[in-house]
A and B are shown apart, each in its own frame.
Chain A
Amino acid sequence: MRCILNTGRSVPQGTAVEHKLSDVYRSIASACFLNPVDLMILGIEDGDRVRVTTPAGYVILTARPAEGVARNECFVTIGPYANHIISSETQGTGMPDFKSQDADVEPTEEAVKSVGELMEAIGGVRP
């Protein structure tokens, strides 16, 4: 399903923001909020995993229903999961397209990685 990937802050994200390597942060930052109708069309339920793909790559997220999210939009809180698939192009402004990245969303059985694993995927080592 073609979607626009939108990102933003949330209170849970803000309360866990200084504990990025924790399981609590992982579950908050890896939640992918979709309109319930889109969840139905994808044939998945709350808590199932989705593979979200953009030209920059893909990431596995946990689907969550949110009635406020428009159809064909997915909302992920700002953080390493969303940024794993956001292009670093800034069109000469310094600002990437954090709120308007075209993405493909599809069901998957793959597991959600931890923040540490995401950092290791780009050459990091967990402290």
Chain B
Amino acid sequence: MIEQDVVCPFCGCLCDDLEIETDGARIVRVKNGCSLAEATFMNDTRLPAPIRRTEAGWEEISYDEAISETAEILREADRPLLYGWSSTHGETQSIGVHIAELIGAVIDNTSTVCHGPSILAIQEVGHPGCTLGQVKNRADVIIYWGCNPVEAHPRHMSRYTTFATGFFVPEAQRERTVIVVDTRRTDTTNIADEFVQIEHGGDYAVLSALRAIVRGKAHVIPASVAGVAKEQLVRIAEICKNAKFGAIFFGLGLTMSRGKYKNVRNAIELTDELSRHTKFVISPLRGHGNVYGSNEVFTWMTGYPFAVDFARGIAFYNPGETTAVDILRRGECDAALIVASDPGANFPRAAAAHLAKIPTVVIDPHVNATTALSRIHIPCTAAGIDAAGTAYRMDGIPIRLKKVIDRGYPDDAEILRKIYDRLDGGMGP
């Protein structure tokens, strides 16, 4: 059978034009997807049943047993951490928040180690953004800053920017000017009309210099800023000011390097400065398929987008204190529930190591590095492959993930609902 218009759940682009051929419970062909999409749909290996770590090694257990034991671990914990959430659908995320509120847990999502600092900047100065459709149809100047879409979002350029035909930009490759800012040369910088190679940690200074030039203060700028020649900065400022519609996309090159959220704030303020001359927008390139959705769901349920602490009985948010890496580094949590993510691989060693010291339960379709650190791993459906649900694209557009096949696994939302039901009654912060 061939299913049309399938949504790929891998990255924040959520490309919704895939064609997938299935043979019973097996996916045999993926059309239109990038190589990340193909790997997501074709190489989907999972555990046959939940596993539990014992003194003698790992043993298979039933779903009922795994769910009861998880509920017991969470019930007995004084400071549980519920982490992950970005590779599953909104329905699961919302039950996660309900559990966190019920047991007074800290709940955090993967934006804490990707665009968390971008959110902090947006909370300071706002987000002049727009949908990807607007960018596709209008933008004649594109800036990729501290990101590498060719590797991380392979179809971003062909669907929305460099190579995409737009209503007001019918000849994309000729009419769009693409500027790429990075510390290293990559396949993305090779496509750029202007490649701005900056020294490590120089983003803040270069953004400030561009703001000054756009303000008409070029005379205060030295001959070189963080390795970038003043002439190039002046040229770029002119390209931007003369744009009909400019769009800046930024990645972890801004959020993870020196300055962190202040880099992003400076980029937003450059956007604001440019909008006094023409129309400019800015947006983060979000990584996980539904990481934007985890921010949406957390925000509408708790008021905060990530790092929410319910220990006080109300939602409390203080990044640096209630963020997952900090809680683990301090050895503060005494149990962890990891859903649809892999902090064992993606957190610094000292933070990941704490997961092995406490009872950690993983609910994830795939075995990952965190499995080795956990006490129980419960396999489940993968949203967008064998489970339907809502995910948010990187520009905040909700898109319904389809169920393409049925592999007989329970939905992670169903597993969490059962855990919630076992906890409910007598519990509470």
Contacts and interface: CB of A to CB of B under 8 A. Distances in A.
Interface of A: 4, 6-11, 14-16, 18-21, 56-57, 66-70, 73, 75, 78-80, 83-100, 115-116, 118-120, 122-127
Contact of A18 (B152, B154, B287, B368): B368
B373 A11 contact: no
Contact of B252 (A8, A66, A70, A127): A8
B348 A87 contact: yes
A100 B257 contact: yes
A115 B369 contact: yes
Contacts of A89: 329
B70 interface: no
B269 interface: no
Contact of A125 (B44, B253, B347, B372): B372
Given A9-B151, A87-B348, A94-B112, A19 B185 contact: no
A67 B372 CA distance: 36
Contacts of A127: 47, 51, 58, 367, 371-372, 377
Interface stretch (B14-22, B135-143, B291-299, B318-326): B318-326
Contacts of B326: 90, 94
B353 to A, nearest CB: 4
B397 interface: no
B184 A99 contact: no
B372 A93 contact: no
Given A8-B252, A11-B35, A14-B152, A96 B113 contact: yes
Contacts of A80: 344-345, 352, 369
Chain B interface size range: 35 or more
Nearest to A13: B151
Given A80-B344, A88-B325, A18 B185 contact: no
A83 B148 CA distance: 20
B116 interface: yes
Which of A57, A83, A85 has the largest count of B CB atoms less than 10 A from its CB?
A: A83
A18 B319 CA distance: 28
Contacts of A57: 349
A126 B51 CA distance: 12
B349 A122 contact: yes
Interface string B143-178: 000001011101000000000000000000000000
Contacts of A9: 148, 151-152, 287
A103 to B, nearest CB: 12
Given A70-B184, A94-B326, A99-B256, A88 B351 contact: yes
